[in-house]
Amino acid sequence: MVSWKNLDTLDAYKELLKKEDSVKLSEVLSGESGAKRVADYCVPMAAGLCYNYAAKKVNDAVLEKLAALAKEAQLTEKFRELYNGAVINTGEKRLVLHQLTRGQLGDDVIADGVNKRDFFTGEQKKIAEFAKKVHSGEITNEKGEKFTTVVQIGIGGSDLGPRAIYLALENWAAAHNTLKMQARFISNVDPDDAVGVLRGVDVAHALFIVVSKSGTTLETLTNESFVKDALEKAGLDVSKHMLAVTSETSPMAKNSGYLAAFFMDDYIGGRYSTSSAVGGAVLSLAFGPDIFARFLDGMAAEDKLAKEEDPLKNPAMLDALIGVYERNILGYPLTALLPYSQALSRFPAHLQQADMESNGKSVNRFGEPMNYKTGPVLFGEPGTNGQHSFYQLLHQGTDVIPLQFIGFKESQNEKDVEVKGSTSQTKLNANLAAQIVAFACGKEDENPNKWFDGERPSSVIVGEQLAPESCGALLSHYENKIMFQGFLWNVNSFDQEGVQLGKVLANRVLAHDTDGALKSFSELLGV
Ligand code: F6P
């Protein structure tokens, strides 16, 4: 029987709060034992990735206590409840089924009279058939010409994940001759976004996918109109260029003006929807359905690891436990996500939503306030660019900010250049190795301005190459990490009431139903 308890009621947490185990990174990473630690503190992930936590402030004693915490918090049992179809999203009274879009982890899940795995794979099949027809030229524009570009119109979860993954695999697909269509994305209600994207798109040869689970999002519906207007002005038949991805119950599902419509459902949170039709349509059109299937395989393989009870065999659970240790025991308020891979340039932005919209909560899953901190602020940029930007604060600022690095041994393209005895890829990874040690071990100096305290913890996920499977495994890792952290904090990670108030007030401004500060700020902004 699963029981949902606040973190601070758990004995294992109270043990950790005694702070009996302090780890000095400059000591544990030095000499032979340091080298052994780097080799040992590493958990294999799917698709050849591994999660290395040698530069985290944990030792075997801390890890034992974290394992006890995982057990007492029933992380494995809670995950089992989730994938077997329990109503884990209590706030919205919904099942949480995103893992089911890429594999079957447990029992058949029957909801609303249908087998949900069959529903998700059925939509994937429909998308695959449609994409193949577009690629083969069976579905064309009115002149019988092939579509060359796909433009996704959506925001939040209907934009960030698919966009991040498209960018993650665009160069890989080009190198493997499987970049079938270029993809572009319009999200912001700022008209300059749509104008900017449309300027670079030949609309006569473009398919537009309107993606909105609810079918009511102001930004997306506005941008849909914007694009329809552009199509009409170009003398094109709108219905031949527009697709929809939505839930079957949304107003968009009732609109017959789309060339095709693909569905997800209310059991897939927007920020977890990349593996559903939300990511499936654009990624299958851009790369081909086989590549999207390989991405899903990577996710499914990583999901399986999340079932492991032992955190040392379950990288997402271990990452979650160490994150909670850093947030609640060591008191660090932020986390930086730093991929040493240009292809992952939008991955931090996606995980910002996934993590902060999930675990940025002040009440537990029963609506009661808690006496401990929940989700940290997450931010990030690819290395080495970040090094020439905010790393100064990371190295010498007054806050210790735990770091999550990601790196790959190979680049996605064979093209590289050797300058001063090393390739660009080697330089990239040399920088990553250097940063891990610089942050952990620091440097003493007579000049205080040049002094580095060190003791700034980091983990690194390492892979051979960012390819469809490893990309899927990476995304699943973070989705599951966030889920386990939500379980530990006893929050509902699957609703997002905190975004509602602003929407309500914006609608009042648009209806000119304002007074006081709302009226003054509206006037200040020329509304
Ligand atoms: O405003 C928050 C939010 O509801 C996100 O959770 C979601 O990803 C986004 O808006 C877009 O929602 P939809 O897919 O329904 O348009």
Q: What CATH number is associated with residue 233? A: 3.40.50.10490
Taking residues 436-463, report their average pLDDT. Answer: 98
The pLDDT confidence band at residue 288, using thresholds 50, 70 and 90, is very high
User: Which atom of ligand 1 lies nearest, measured to the CA of 155?
Assistant: 11
* Active site residues per annotation: 357, 388, 503
- Euclidean distance between CA atoms 88 and 93, whole angstroms: 8
What pLDDT, in 10s, does the model give residues 91-104?
Answer: 999 999 999 999 99
Q: Is residue 467 part of a domain?
A: no
pLDDT of residue 401: 98
pLDDT of residue 471: 98
Q: Ligand 1: does its nearest atom lie under 6 Å from the Cβ of 214?
A: yes
Q: Ligand 1: does its nearest atom lie under 6 Å from the Cβ of 161?
A: no
H-helix or E-strand spanning residue 350: helix 347-359
pLDDT of residue 17: 97
Instruction: Tell me how far the alpha carbon of residue 285 lies from the centroid of ligand 1, in angstroms.
Output: 23
pLDDT of residue 257: 92
pLDDT of residue 173: 98
pTM of the model: 0.98
Domain containing 157 equals: 108-296
Task: Name the phi and psi angles at 458, rounded to 5.
Answer: -145, 160
Q: Ligand 1: does its nearest atom lie under 6 Å from the Cβ of 271?
A: yes
- Euclidean distance between CA atoms 275 and 268, whole angstroms: 9
pLDDT of residue 278: 98
H-helix or E-strand spanning residue 153: strand 149-153
Instruction: Tell me how far the alpha carbon of residue 213 lies from the centroid of ligand 1, in angstroms.
Output: 7
User: Which atom of ligand 1 lies nearest, measured to the CA of 500?
Assistant: 1
Share of the chain above pLDDT 90, in %: 99
Taking residues 426-432, report their average pLDDT. Answer: 98
Q: Is residue 125 part of a domain?
A: yes
Query: Which among 155, 511, 170, 140 is positioned nearest to 345, based on CA atoms?
Result: 170
pLDDT of residue 201: 98
Supply 217's token pair.
């999002």
- Euclidean distance between CA atoms 238 and 246, whole angstroms: 18
Q: Is residue 170 part of a domain?
A: yes
Could you give the strand order of the β-sheet that contains 149-153, starting from the edge strand earlier in sequence? Answer: 182-186, 149-153, 206-211, 242-247, 260-264
User: Which atom of ligand 1 lies nearest, measured to the CA of 154?
Assistant: 16
pLDDT of residue 30: 95
pLDDT of residue 456: 98
Domain boundary among 268, 296, 324: 296
Q: Ligand 1: does its nearest atom lie under 6 Å from the Cβ of 490?
A: no
Q: Ligand 1: does its nearest atom lie under 6 Å from the Cβ of 435?
A: no
Q: Ligand 1: does its nearest atom lie under 6 Å from the Cβ of 165?
A: no
Supply 461's token pair.
């996920």
What pLDDT, in 10s, does the model give residues 150-199?
Answer: 999 999 999 999 999 999 999 999 999 999 999 999 999 999 999 999 99
Q: Is residue 412 part of a domain?
A: no
User: Which atom of ligand 1 lies nearest, measured to the CA of 220?
Assistant: 16
What pLDDT, in 10s, does the model give residues 341-363?
Answer: 999 999 999 999 999 999 999 99
Question: Three-state DSSP class for 516?
Answer: helix
The rounded mean pLDDT for the chain is 97
User: Which atom of ligand 1 lies nearest, measured to the CA of 278?
Assistant: 14
Q: Ligand 1: does its nearest atom lie under 6 Å from the Cβ of 213?
A: yes
pLDDT of residue 385: 96
**Is-contact 476 303, C-beta < 8 A?**
yes
Q: Ligand 1: does its nearest atom lie under 6 Å from the Cβ of 217?
A: yes
pLDDT of residue 188: 98
Domain boundary among 242, 265, 296: 296
Residues 6+ apart with CB under 8 A from 341: 168, 382, 406, 407, 408, 466
Instruction: Tell me how far the alpha carbon of residue 138 lies from the centroid of ligand 1, in angstroms.
Output: 33
The pLDDT confidence band at residue 439, using thresholds 50, 70 and 90, is very high
The pLDDT confidence band at residue 213, using thresholds 50, 70 and 90, is very high
Q: Give the count of domains, the chain.
A: 2
Q: Is residue 29 part of a domain?
A: no
Taking residues 113-137, report their average pLDDT. Answer: 98
Amino acid at 213: K
The pLDDT confidence band at residue 237, using thresholds 50, 70 and 90, is very high
pLDDT of residue 252: 95
Quote the longest CA-to-CA distance of the chain.
Answer: 74
What is the gyration radius of the CA atoms in the chain, in angstroms? Answer: 24
Domain boundary among 275, 296, 317: 296
pLDDT of residue 506: 96
Sequence-ordered strand ranges (E) for 316-391: 334-340, 377-379
**Is-contact 319 51, C-beta < 8 A?**
yes
Q: Is residue 400 part of a domain?
A: no
Among protein residues, the one whose CA lies closest to atom 9 of ligand 1: 156
Instruction: Tell me how far the alpha carbon of residue 467 lies from the centroid of ligand 1, in angstroms.
Output: 28
Q: Is residue 382 part of a domain?
A: no
Q: Is residue 64 part of a domain?
A: no
Instruction: Tell me how far the alpha carbon of residue 499 lies from the centroid of ligand 1, in angstroms.
Output: 9
Among protein residues, the one whose CA lies closest to atom 5 of ligand 1: 156
Query: Which among 507, 103, 7, 500 is positioned nearest to 296, based on CA atoms?
Result: 103
Amino acid at 374: T
Q: Ligand 1: does its nearest atom lie under 6 Å from the Cβ of 220?
A: yes
